Structure 1
Amino acid sequence: MKYVILVGDGMADYPLDELDGRTPLQVADKPNMDQLAEKGACGLLRTVPEGMEAGSDVANLSIMGYNPRRYYTGRGPLEAASIGVELSPEDAAFRCNLINADERIVDFNADHIETDDAAELIDTLNTHLETPGRFYPGVSYRNLFVITGAGYTDVRVEPPHDIVGEPLDHHLPGGSPEADHIRELMLGSREILESHRVNHERIARGKRPANMIWLWGQGTRPSMEPFAEKYGLKGATITAVDLIKGLGVYAGLKNIHVPGATGYLDTDYRAKGRYAAAALEEYDFLFVHVEAPDEAGHAGDVEEKIKAIENIDHFVLGRILDAMTEYDCRISVLPDHPTPVEVKTHVPDPVPCILAGDGIEPDAVKSYDEFSVREGSLGLEEGHRLIEVMKTL
């Protein structure tokens, strides 16, 4: 038996007035998801354990079959693994966003800064910002900072996408030598970045400058059982997002590179579908992740969110379902967490989940959305049990 999990990041939502009290999932043209719901079993999955933050790192770790209460150490180490940065046990790895700010956080991704521009800015920080730590370039605004010292894991900094529009000085860390140093780095980056050629050129092109860094999501290197030993399956991930790739590295999954996959609204959905379909021949387990609905949710753009859901359905899920006919196969489709367009950030609510394929008994659900699945036979499950349920149902 082969197993596929397709995650539409942030796909779930709340009813919206502009959609006549419906959600984007209810409005979207998604025949493949609806057909799977009708042919399979549905329910809700609690991907974020009570009391933990509704981050994509926590939620996807859960969906991948690892209990976050046991295995989660922070977002930064996952990004480190993705870009090949080895961490010692004493290292704290921070996610380093390039942001746009004045007295407030204006934009948590600096107008989705291009990777080449970001790399040049990160290199300049290593040269001119005084710290015993080191910055590493990643993808676009998602970069990395690593520093040695146990006290750095206790520094509290909120994710920048949760505080857009908020005053900077309300959210800067402080209260310990380590927190003070992180605050000094964040504030000290402004003078260096604002005068940089890259940002002058961005302004000339009508783009927001990346005029500050925001350090957050730090943690130490996690210790995870290899997926193959835990579940007896040879697996792979397909994603453009560093933290998902990092989870794959620590779990011993193969990260399959897809040209044109950007982790944004312009991602190449067709390429993701093609690569996922081809990977079924070699792998017993596929974790396919598409970031676009989450980006639309953060932007508060309902039309883009509907479009992203439809593209996932038509070009990713449709291609996977065609390939599945060649194998004994089961598939689950779900978000990792909701990212409601009115809230513009993640919430920890349980997510709608489909489980379909060979040997799965259909229930009474006829369409896939946040409300229909509540009548399904799966009930409410803990997220880290999904693979176990897929294998034993």
Structure 2
Amino acid sequence: MESGNKSLRTKMILCIILPALVCFSVSDYYILKIALGAPGMTDALARTLITRDILVFGASFAVLLVAVLLTAGGIVRPLKLLAGYAARLAAGDTDFKVATARRRDELGQLSRSIRATQITLKKVSLILGHASGDILAGNLSVRADAAKYPGDFGRIMVGNNQVDDSICGLIRHIRTAAENVASVSQQMSAEAQSVAHGATAQASAIDEISRTVADALKRTRDDRDNADRARRLSETVSAKAAEGSEKMKELSRALEAINKSSSYISDVIKIIEDIAFQTNILALNASVEAARAGVHGKGFSIVAEEVKSLAGKSAAAAKETNELLGDSISKSRQGLTIGEEMERALSEIVDSLDSSVGSIADIAEDCVRQADTIKQLNHGLGQISQVVQSNTATAEESAASSQ
């Protein structure tokens, strides 16, 4: 700022002094030329004139320089003050006093203009500050009278009033929106509480279902284990039944062999009966011949009687044996029939057991698959339970936050 003042002072000095010096020098040159060309001008007189002219020129220059410096100082200092005032106004500082406002010249007029601008800016600043305070305090009805402010200041007031109107409208919209949000929040709170209660009930139901599924999984595993034991037992019984069927086949073959042997024995007994019958006939013939022989045939008669008695006993024994053998053959045939029936029954039992083993194996496999399915279902229910618990917590938080 100081360098600017010096530059201004220098320019003023150059603008005033240089033209004056040029004019004075030109006029003095011509005057001195005329004087030196006058008749009777001696060298001493010429030197005296030149010396006097130089002294007058120097004194005039000094007086003119002092006058210019004084005049420049009276102009530059007020301009410097006014420039400082303008800079403070530009910086937003309105709290100062304009010292040159009482001057009657153009600088005073400029000072008064700066003073008026200062006052107007201070009023505008105060009004804007009060308007902001009123808005913060909730008083939205205060408006500035824009007609009292000239030019752009009036437009600033109009713009401020429009901003206040916009803020009022925005606040009304915000208030309406807040009321709507409050209403919706209450509704959401009620719905969130309802959802929370429903989610809690749902979580309880899912826990109950999970326990039921876990119990069903345990029972399915028990059924699978029982089915495995039944399958192994059925396989053992089937093996024993197959073994019994083979034994019954062997028994049937043995009974059939006994039946055949009994038939052979029956034939032998018939032969023995025939022999006994023939022996009895021979004994009768011998008795007849012994009776004819008289005394000489007495011993032979005794032998014949013994043979006859033995033949009778043999015939009786053969008859009894034949009866017993017939009964044995009948019972053997009955046993063979029963054995065949038992063989068929055991074969059917083996077939049934094989079918039962297959069915039990299928049941065991179904139990395994069912156990896997229930296990997956239980895992899925666990995930659903976690989701429901998370939703329950979220719903409770939403209900709490919406309140």
TM-score by length of 1: 0.15
Higher normalized contact order (CA 8 Å, seq sep 6+, divided by chain length): 1
Q: If each structure's helix is expressed as a fraction of its own residues, which one has the higher value? A: 2
Q: If each structure's strand is expressed as a fraction of its own residues, which one has the higher value? A: 1
TM-score by length of 2: 0.15
